[in-house]
Chain A
Amino acid sequence: MTRYLQIWGVQLRTSLATAMTYRASFILDGFMSLVWIALALLPLIVLFDQRSMVSGWDRPSALIVIAYFFGVKAVMEGIVSPSLIQLVERIRNGAFDYVLLKPVDAQFMISACNYEPEKIFDFIGAIVIATYAFILRGYPPTVGQVALGLALFVAGVFAMYSLWILCAAAAFWVVRLDNLIYLLQAIFDTARWPVQVFRGVWRILFTFIIPVAVMTTFPAMAMLGRLSARATLATFGGAIAMIVISRLVWRAAIRNYTSASS
């Protein structure tokens, strides 16, 4: 276990060093994060200028969902997706063999080997939005609500991570999947809205088929003290099920791997 932590530390340091080489790009990315956050907030501002309540969500609680959205997005785009994009490249040119040769679990090696530290701006944005939302509401969440909210944040991140692993596993069969990654990002974009504002087919799709609700809506409800015990357990259960499934698919994919170079 300590060895895994050490490896992780080294990988983090090298990525940071790389990112800091391109300082101008780092600042520009920070500025871009601000632009995107502003664009994401705009429809919400337009909506709540006219209505005080939409499907049981008022302005502060909808802001919490957006905060979760940017939090999960920061972790995904800062840690997971750059790593997995690198994996796809390695599968194509055969360099993945070297990863398999190492005496460390391959999924660990490819899941967190490449970072984009500039995504920290998204994460800071998420914390600022959440803080503002609670000031707007007038009273802070209890310690229990914050703890549960954070635990569900981790569960949501792992649920999204599992989706990414499933996509990455597909790379063993189809090789080119840049577009698949864009598609995944496009689907995750729906997570910025509370799932209850959608109706009918949309809500079923986002709750069960592509569980974006698990990533933002349910954790936000926990933070707001609205999530029932049953829904909490279902969210954790759903996240664990997704991790197990993605692990199984990953193992099957590795067995199927026949290297590009030899």
Chain B
Amino acid sequence: MSSFARVWRAVPTLLRIGVAETVAYRAEFLVWILTSTMPLIMLGLWTSVASEAPFRTFSSSRFVAYYLSVLIVRHLTSNWVAWQLSEEIRLGVLSMRLLRPIHPFFSYAATHIAALPFRSLIALPLTFILLISSGASALSTDPLQLALLLPSLFFAWLITFGILFALGCTSFWFTQMFGLFNFYFGVWSLFSGYLLPIALLPSWIGRIAEYSPFYAMLGAPIELMTESLTPHQLGVLFARQALWAVAAVATAFWVWRAGVRRFEAVGG
């Protein structure tokens, strides 16, 4: 049996396990979600700044639309696979996974996909708030853009997962990884548009951001939600997302292959 068919057959079971895990740790899951307060702080700050006069091209309602979209996209696409992987490598628990006839990329991915329904429970009320808030007027109404939102979110999810998986694999070489993860988060929050809309940043940062994978992870879907794009802009946006998705997944597999040879099952 080909390895692809093997993975395919295991998918329902993997998803069931993932759902069970999420349900078991639901309290922690909820608190974890509450910790992404940064967009809310920025929302409070910028709406009050823009309340009298628009800040550059951003009106108060545009800020509301922007930062609520940030929260929605982040809740749907983020994951903690790097921390998970790093912990399992350090403690040697990974040897259990290596025994299974499925590439860990898929088993981890299944766990995180299974958490998506729960994440939607957070994203749905947020979407509702966005639609009844003043931000609704700043949302895109173009049906094509809204239809393309789902594929764009899928690419964003895939890029995020691939990069974090590769980051987690660096634990094969180094033991203390949290410094690197923190650094990654810092770079990501700047170039993805998490901290500030790219349009407000100095233009040279904006140019770097546009070509970076970080923007494809968060900024691109937000652009679909809050701006009206020309067909050409849409094409460029999707081409970049697709390219980064392929690159991220390829890197994840490559770093895994190089790293797993060094694995010595600490304490196993």
On A, residues with C-beta under 8 Å from B are 22, 25, 28-29, 32, 35-36, 39, 42-43, 46-47, 50-51, 54-55, 176, 179-180, 182-183, 185-187, 189-190, 193, 197-199, 202
Contacts and interface: CB of A to CB of B under 8 A. Distances in A.
A189 B196 contact: no
Given A35-B183, A190-B37, A47 B32 contact: no
B44 A202 contact: yes
A29 B38 contact: no
A162 B55 CA distance: 38
A245 B34 CA distance: 25
A39 B35 contact: no
Nearest to B56: A50
A219 B42 CA distance: 22
Given A43-B195, A182-B35, A186-B38, 5 more contacts: A50-B56, A180-B31, A183-B34, A186-B35, A197-B45
B186 A35 contact: yes
B31 A183 contact: yes
A42 B37 contact: no
A183 B29 CA distance: 12
A25 B182 CA distance: 13
A186 B48 contact: no
Nearest to A205: B44
A111 B3 CA distance: 54
Interface residues of B, number: 29
A47 B201 contact: no
Contact of A189 (B32, B37, B48, B179): B37
A135 B55 CA distance: 28
Highest count of chain A CB atoms <10 Å: which of B44, B47, B183, B201: B44
For the complex of A and B, the 6 pairs showing the least CB-CB separation, nearest first, are A179-B31, A186-B37, A202-B44, A186-B35, A182-B35, A199-B48
A209 to B, nearest CB: 14
A130 B227 CA distance: 39
Contact of A32 (B35, B47, B179): B179
Contacts of B189: 39
B49 interface: yes
Interface string B226-254: 00000000000000000000000000000
A202 B49 CA distance: 14
Highest count of chain A CB atoms <10 Å: which of B31, B38, B189, B201: B31
A187 B37 contact: yes
Contacts of A190: 37, 41
Nearest to A187: B37
B175 to A, nearest CB: 10
Highest count of chain A CB atoms <10 Å: which of B38, B41, B47, B179: B41
